[in-house]
Amino acid sequence: MNTLETDMEMNIKKDIVVIGAGPIGCYAAYLLAKSGHQVSVYEEHAELGSPIQCTGILTGEFDKFNFPKDSFLVNTINKIEVYSPKQKTTIQQKDYIICRRRFDNFLADLAKKEGAKIFLSHSFVRKEGRQLIIKDLLNKVEKNISPDVVIAADGPLSPTAKAYGFYYHQRKNYYGIQATVKGNFDSQMIKTYFGNEVCPNLFAWIVPESSTIARVGLATTKNTRHYFDRFMQEHNFIALGIQAGTIPVYHPKQKLKKDNCYAVGDASTYVKATTLGGIVPGLKQAEILVDCINNNKDYEREVKHLRKQMWTHLQIHKILNKFSDKDWDSLLSYINQPKIQKIFESYTRDNPIPLVTKTLLKEPRLLYFTKYLF
Ligand SMILES: Cc1cc2nc3c(=O)[nH]c(=O)nc-3n(C[C@H](O)[C@H](O)[C@H](O)COP(=O)(O)OP(=O)(O)OC[C@H]3O[C@@H](n4cnc5c(N)ncnc54)[C@H](O)[C@@H]3O)c2cc1C
| Cα 169–Cα 172–Cα 173 angle in degrees, nearest 5 | 120
Give distance in angstroms: CA of 70 to centre of ligand 1. Answer: 22
- Residue 250's CB: how many other CB atoms inside 10 A? 25
Q: Do the Cβ atoms of 289 and 159 come closer than 8 Å?
A: no
Bridge partners of 134, per DSSP, are 124, 143
- Output the CA angle 187-204-213, nearest 5 degrees: 30
Q: Is 312 in the pocket of ligand 1 (CB under 6 A)?
A: no
pLDDT for 5:
45
Query: Does the Cβ of 153 fall within 6 Å of ligand 1?
Result: yes
CB of 266 within 6 A of ligand 1: the answer is yes
* Separation of CA 176 and ligand 1 centre (Å): 12
Q: Which atom of ligand 1 is nearest to the CA of 244?
A: 1
Q: In what order do the strands lie in the sheet with 257-258?
A: 117-119, 38-42, 15-19, 149-152, 261-263, 257-258
What pLDDT is recorded for position 3?
41
Closest by Cα among 16, 46, 20, 29 to 112: 29
Residue 217 Cβ contacting ligand 1 at under 6 Å: yes
Domains (range + CATH), the chain: 3-314 (3.50.50.60), 322-373 (no CATH)
Q: Ligand 1, residues 105, 118, 154: which to mutate, most atoms within 8 A of Cβ?
A: 154
Closest to 26 (Cα-Cα) out of 120, 90, 95:
120
Pocket test for ligand 1, best of 266, 268, 310 (most atoms within 8 A of CB): 266
pLDDT for 349: 87
Q: Which residues of 357-374 are buried (b: 16+ CB within 10 A; e: fewer)?
A: ebbeeeeeebeebeeeee
Distance 100 CA to ligand 1 centre (A): 10
pLDDT in tens, the chain (374 residues): 444 344 344 457 999 999 999 999 999 999 999 999 999 999 999 999 999 889 999 999 999 999 999 999 999 999 999 999 999 999 999 999 999 999 999 999 999 999 999 999 999 999 999 999 999 999 999 999 999 999 999 999 999 999 999 999 999 999 999 999 999 999 999 999 999 999 998 999 999 999 999 999 999 999 999 999 999 999 999 999 999 999 999 999 999 999 999 999 999 999 999 999 999 999 999 999 999 999 999 999 999 999 999 999 999 999 999 999 999 999 999 999 999 999 988 888 888 998 899 999 899 999 999 999 88
Contact assessment for residue 99 and residue 114, using Cβ atoms and an 8 Å cutoff: no
Compute the distance from residue 371 Cα to the ligand 1 centre, in Å. 34
pLDDT recorded at residue 11: 53
Check if the beta carbon of residue 188 is closer than 8 Å to that of residue 76.
yes
pLDDT of 197: 95
The whole-number pLDDT of residue 348 equals 85
